Structures are given as C-alpha cells and as structure tokens.
Structure 1
Amino acid sequence: MSEAAVGAPATRFWFPGASVWRQGNWILRAALIVGLGLVLITLAAPLIAPFDPTDQSLISRLRPPLGFERYKDGYLLGTDELGRDILTRCIYGLRLTFALALAGAVIGLLIGGTLGLVSGIAGGRTDDAIMGLVDAQIAIPMTLVALLILSVFGSTIEVIVFVLGLYGWEQFARILRAEVKKLKQMPFVEAARAAGAAPLRIALRHILPNVVSPMVVQFTLNFSNIVIWESTLSFLGLGVQPPTATLGSMVGTGRDYLPTAPWIVLAPAMTILLLTFAVQILGDWLRDRADVRLRSR
C-alpha cells in the first residue's frame, strides 16, 4: 500500500444540509428534516402518491382516516366530499403550492430588489418615483389588484404566478433602499468611490454582499406569506381552479365540512404549517450564515 493511501484522511459523507445538522440545535435539525422531507415529497409525488388526485368514488366519500370507524383500506388520511384520497391530494397540492410560492417569492425579490437597489444608489427624482410606486402598492389592497388581474386575464397558472409575484415586492424595495442608503455612507464604500470605482462595481462588489442577510429574511417571510396568500385566493375562488389541488384550495373547499369531516381541512392545514415552519427556521439560519458582519466577528 502506498504512503499516500495510508496517510489519506477518511472520506466524509456530505449532503447539502450537513453544516446545518452539525451546527444547529434540535429545532434547526427538525426544520431540516421536515424541509428535506417536503422537498423529496414534491419531487417524488408521482411515485409515492397512492391514487390519482382527481379520481372520484362517491361510494367512498367522507371516509375518516386510519384508526376511525368507517375507515376504508388504502385511504390513510381519509377521503373528501367527492371520495378523493386526501393523502394523494396533499402530496400533489404541496407540490403545486411549493412551486407557486417559490416562483412568486423569486419574482418579488427580483422586482423589489432591483427597484430598491436603483432607488438607493441613484437617489433624487429616481428615488422619489420608485418610492411613489411603492407607496401606491401599499395603499391599494392587494386583494383588489388580484381580483382585477384574475378577472381580466383568467386564473391560469401563469397569471396566478404573476399575481403572487406582485405580493410583497414593495417590502423588498423598502428594505433594500434603506440598507443601500446606510451603506453608501460607510468608509469602505466611500473609499471605493474615491478610488474611481464605477457605480455598478460598487453596487455589485461592495453593497450587495452586505444586504444578503435582510433579503434572505424577507424572502423567507415572503415565501410563507405567499403560501397563505395563495390559500386566501383559493378560499375566495380566485386561485388554481378545480380539480387541480393546492393546499389552499383544499382548505377552502373543506371548510363547509369542518364540523363533520375535519380531516379534509386538518391534513392540508398541517402541511402548510410544516412548510412555513421549515422555511422560517432554515431562513433564520441562512441569514446568520450569509451576514458578512456576523462572519467577521
């Protein structure tokens, strides 16, 4: 055996959440397990779902979950008012809700982050114009905006993603603008400006790394809020239309059966709770890791 082979360290197994597991407490580890589990469920939905999410069986309608009377074999979480499997619809609903919330949060980050960065760096009339747009967005109820857009263009997936992307972008803009204006007065930014650095270089090299932390926090908050917002739209009949399942639409359609068949609402509601819990806890950890000011201590 060669000397290099003898002295080589043992290979350590690595996965994307390894550092979270090593450095976090039990709450963070629980959030990591829940988050990875939910992501795996969304990726493997066609493989693990026991039924088709649109299959109906009126003979089996409103059957309770495992452990209760009238439970029907195979329907672990029971059935809804049309005899559809709750577990299957939760799996597919989680998949679509996760995709919609992620797409909406990314769009909001891109819109608000870009406008906030431009507003903070440019100042003057540009700043006034962008902040006027932000104030208008805050003043107009988002429900009315969503109702107008969805009534004109329809409740297609593309339109719903656009509407969800409009939710909360003004918070990104305001936070980033405030951070940029504060950082512009810092000595390292003034030194870069005095050295002749271009505004674009100052923004990308010196300002953006220092605003990652608040943007991560706002992104996780916005993601969770968009999950609830999508549920609100579905509750009002403005979201993804039946028979396609989202977690919000399942809660909305099951509200009439809450006294007699609470499992129709409890299963998707608990899934929403687990999803928002994992995102919030992991977002707090990511904020601490991304904050250059905390790393320098």
Structure 2
Amino acid sequence: MVQLADPIMRLSKRKANQTNFIQKTAIAIAILLFASAFFAPLIVPFDPLDQSLLSRLRPPLGFERFAVGHWAGTDELGRDVLSRALHGMRLTLSLAFAGAVIGLLIGGTLGLIAGLRQGWAEDAIMSLVDMQIAIPFTLVALLILSLMGSSLTVLVMVLGIAGWEQYARIVRAEVRRLSALPFIEAAWTAGAGPIYIAWRHVLPNLISPLVVQFTLALSNIVILESTLSFLGLGVQPPQPSLGSMVGLGRDYMPTAPWIVLVPAALIMALTFSVQILGDWLRDRADVRLRDR
C-alpha cells in the first residue's frame, strides 16, 4: 500500500507544481499587460493616429522592408501597429473595468435586495436573472447598439449590464447562507434594520466572492467588447481598440497578417491571464481548497 501511495503522491505534487507554475506565469503576464496598458502613452514609440502612407504595410522586425522604429510593423495607413495595439488594449481594459464595476453595482445591489427582502421582490429579481441567462446577450448588445448608436457612453452601459446576473446570484446565495447564521439572527432580534445588517455584517463577508467574480467577468467583458468592435458596433475608427484592429485588418491577412496577429495575440494573452488570475483568487478565497 505504501509503495502504491508514493507514486500517487509524487504525481499529485507534480501536478500541483505545474499548476502553480502556470498560475505564476499567468499572473506575471497579467501584471505586464496591465502595466503596458497603463503606461501606454509613455512607452509607445509613435502616436497611434499618425499616418505615413510611405511606410504603409511594413513588416515587423526581422523581415525585409522593415521600417526602423516600427517593431511590430505598420498597417494599411502607415500607422504603427504596436502603438495602436497598446493604446487599444488601454481602451479595451478601461471599458472592461467600467463595465465590470457597473455590473457589480447593479447585480450586487439587486442580489442584496433579493437576499434580504424575500417574497415578491426576490421573485421579480430572480425572474430578471433567469431572463438574462436565457437570452444570448451578444444579440441583445447588437440590438441596443444598432438602435442607440455606438458612442462610448452607450457601449459602457451595454458592457455594464452584460454580467450583472452573475453578481446577483452570488450575492443572493451568500446572503441567504449568512442569514441563517446565529449572529445575523441575533442582529435581527436586537432590532437592527436591513441596511445596518447589510452594511455591517453581510457586505464584509461578500468581498472575497465578489472579487473573484469581478476578475472572471473582466475577461468575458474584454471578449464581448472585442467582438462588438470587430463587428463595427463598438469603438469607432480612428480610435483604436483590440477588436476594431482585428476587424479592420482582416482584409489584409494574406499580405500583412501582423496587423491582425498582434492585437489578436494581446486579446488571447489578456483573457487567458485574467481567467487564470480569477481561478487563483478563487482557490485562495476558498478555505477548503487553500488548505489542501
């Protein structure tokens, strides 16, 4: 039995080490991408809107016809791809953060109400949650942007309502679980109101699951924004975003694939690293998983 247990333990330890390596690598990539987006105006070599038709469709470093300074090449208008990609990632992350915060506020508030106020209020809120889950939100986003236009304000609001139902479900479930604990029942018995109980006893216990959900939702919103911009209903030219760069450059894939590959690689790296970061935060927040 001991001889059988040793290989299993070594295999489990090896898998744990591989998982830790992947998590650390993803976290390092996420930090690098966030820092690059935050400091993009300071580190980009060119203005992302400057055009130079004499330098159009120049390949990246290492290829013939490489233009000095344009390390990732230029696009169809001679604009620096690296500068546009970093500024586009900055705008994409800004929109994603704004949308995630709005979704957190809407979903957290409704989930708190549903958890504390049972009855018709809970039924109405959970019916809205079920509707949101049942309808593909990308189609809803396309409809809203088609009717109301593609301004940044409308886009942020669309991204904000993209995942509020997940926050509402998490908060409602946690509130219902906490409401059955003795200290909450004692607060009700002592005459505390719902606002005091929510602020003093419930919200501090919701921080961990909400932070995890915020991180996971961020990558989903990045993908949604990139999809809308790719379809021409998100960020409008000449302002760069990762999705719009992929959409505008797809016609040049046979002759200048770097126009698409650079922003597409950033989208993949960003969503992958943020998802792994969310999984790591979930493992750290769950006491049962953390103690293994």
In which range does the TM-score fall when normalised by the shorter chain? 0.7 to 0.9
Aligned residues: 274
Equivalent positions of 1:21-100 (< 5 A) are 25-100=20-95
Counterpart for residue 10 of structure 2: none
* Residue 35 of structure 1: how far off its partner (Å): 2.9
SS at match of 1:46: helix
- Change in CA separation of 1:138 and 1:228 when aligned onto 2, cut-off 3 Å: same
Q: Note the alpha carbon deviations across 1:69-121, whole angstroms, 9 max, x for none.
A: 22221110011122211101011101101100000001001101110110111
Q: Note the alpha carbon deviations across 1:196-244, whole angstroms, 9 max, x for none.
A: 3322222222222323232222211210000000011011110010111
- The farther-off stretch of 276-285 and 119-128 is 276-285
Distance 1:293 1:141 in 2: 34
Does residue 178 (structure 1) correspond to residue 143 (structure 2)? The answer is: no
Counterpart for residue 201 of structure 1: 196
Equivalent positions of 1:1-297 (< 5 A) are 25-288=20-283
- Change in CA separation of 1:140 and 1:221 when aligned onto 2, cut-off 3 Å: same
1:212 and 1:291 in contact (8 A); partners too = no
**Runs of 5+ unmatched residues, structure 1:** 1-23
* Residue 28 of structure 1: how far off its partner (Å): 4.2
* Residue 292 of structure 1: how far off its partner (Å): 7.7
Counterpart for residue 9 of structure 1: none
2:59 and 2:258 in contact (8 A); partners too = yes
State the one-letter code of the partner of 1:128.
D
SS at match of 1:90: helix
- The farther-off stretch of 81-90 and 272-281 is 272-281
SS at match of 1:237: coil
2:30 and 2:270 in contact (8 A); partners too = yes
Distance 2:83 2:148 in 1: 30
- Change in CA separation of 1:180 and 1:186 when aligned onto 2, cut-off 3 Å: same
* Residue 289 of structure 1: how far off its partner (Å): 5.0
1:247 and 1:272 in contact (8 A); partners too = yes
Distance 1:289 1:201 in 2: 29
* Residue 273 of structure 1: how far off its partner (Å): 2.3
2:107 and 2:164 in contact (8 A); partners too = yes
- The farther-off stretch of 98-107 and 259-268 is 259-268
- The farther-off stretch of 177-186 and 187-196 is 187-196
**Runs of 5+ unmatched residues, structure 2:** 1-18
Question: What's the TM-score once normalised by structure 1's chain length?
Answer: 0.83
Q: Give the percent of matched residue pairs that are identical in Structure 1 and Structure 2.
A: 68
Q: CA RMSD in A?
A: 2.4
State the one-letter code of the partner of 1:266.
L
Question: What's the TM-score once normalised by structure 2's chain length?
Answer: 0.85
* Residue 294 of structure 1: how far off its partner (Å): 7.9
- Change in CA separation of 1:149 and 1:247 when aligned onto 2, cut-off 3 Å: same
2:253 and 2:260 in contact (8 A); partners too = yes
